[in-house]
Amino acid sequence: MKAILVENGKLKIEEVENPKEKANEIRVEIHAAALNRADLLQKKGTYPSPAGWPQWPGLELAGKILALGEEAAKNTNFKVGDKVCALVGGGAYAEVICVPYKLVLPMPEGLSYEEAAAIPEAYTTSYLNLFKEGHLKEGQTVYVAAGASGLASAAIPMAKGFGAKVITDALDPAKREAIASLGADYIVDLTKEKVSDVFRRLSEAGTPVNCAMDCLCGEDMGESLQYMAEGGYYVVISTLAGVTTKLYLRPLLTRGLHITGSMLRKRSIEEKGALLEELREHLWKKFEDKSVKVKVYRTYPFDRAEEAQQVLEKSENIGKVVLKVK
């Protein structure tokens, strides 16, 4: 089979051995694979696949079942030919992959392979950090950083679909209209104001931010934190804008605020499987009735993966970039 390997910092299509499923695995013919920023880090050699996974990029995919291991067949209702999507630790940039059955979900009805491939990593990460770590409730206000990112394209409509008010940000004013189409209630223009200014105004108006899912952080994080709602949750999922900030400890103490770091990658297969089941329970009908829409920015053929990654490198996308494998 063909797979896209990293060689000297470049992507290269090569023939690799066809995988054989273990007892607890499902062998999937990949039709589409969505891109994530972790793929860019893997190409740079700083984010290798965890042990046991193929050492080429790709964290989420959609395709058809080719075969089931004995344990997978016994513990699921899947059969050969079923359309599925899957969360993986690596290896989605390929024609075939074997996945533990707990990480495989049926595709929502009415979605394309490209749309379904954009669900597992982005939506599970968003669900984990908004609702499990961030304790977001209907009617509350949430800040989702980097509104133009693929992750935000999942988090914003998800939060809106569950009745939250969403604040996000954009560095490029030209992207504001596209971000607004995701359902964001307010988009911070980072060329004119800081996120902390908006946190402060909302606090003064009596409608403070309850939850934050921040992939940027940096200096403004500590400033924003002091204006959060009583018992608020600030979830750090990356530090793209900087690794240091100044914390005001008094509001942390008096308001009972919570700061937590969260990475989906560090969760066990059992934990990820449980999250995927919750995602299926709460979101699949919303995908199917289009009350939550998957945002695919652009699709590229398999042999143009390098070009597809450049879109992420340059932060051109609003929504997910997807490889069409088959």
* pLDDT tens-digit map of 133-165: 999 999 999 999 999 998 999 999 999 999 999
- Going from the N-terminus, what domains does the chain have, and what CATH number goes with each? 2-118+294-324 (3.90.180.10), 134-261 (3.40.50.720)
Q: Please compute the mean of the pLDDT values over residues 233-258 and round it to a whole number.
A: 96
Reply yes or no on whether the pLDDT at 257 is more than 90.
yes
**Would you state the pLDDT for residue 171?**
87
CB 147 within 8 A of CB 168: yes
C-alpha angle with apex 72: 113 to 30, nearest 5 degrees? 25
b/e for 75-102, b at 16 or more Cβ within 10 A?
Answer: ebebeeebbbbbbbbbbbbbbbbbbbbb
Reply yes or no on whether the pLDDT at 178 is more than 90.
no
How many whole angstroms from its chain centre is CA 193? 26
Q: Residue 34's pLDDT band (boundaries 50, 70, 90)?
A: very high
User: Which DSSP state fits 130?
Assistant: I
Q: How many other C-beta atoms are found inside a 10 Å radius of the C-beta of residue 16?
A: 17
Q: How many other C-beta atoms are found inside a 10 Å radius of the C-beta of residue 74?
A: 11
Q: Residue 172's pLDDT band (boundaries 50, 70, 90)?
A: confident
Q: How do residues 198-230 score in pLDDT, each as one tens digit? A: 999 999 999 999 999 999 999 999 999 999 999
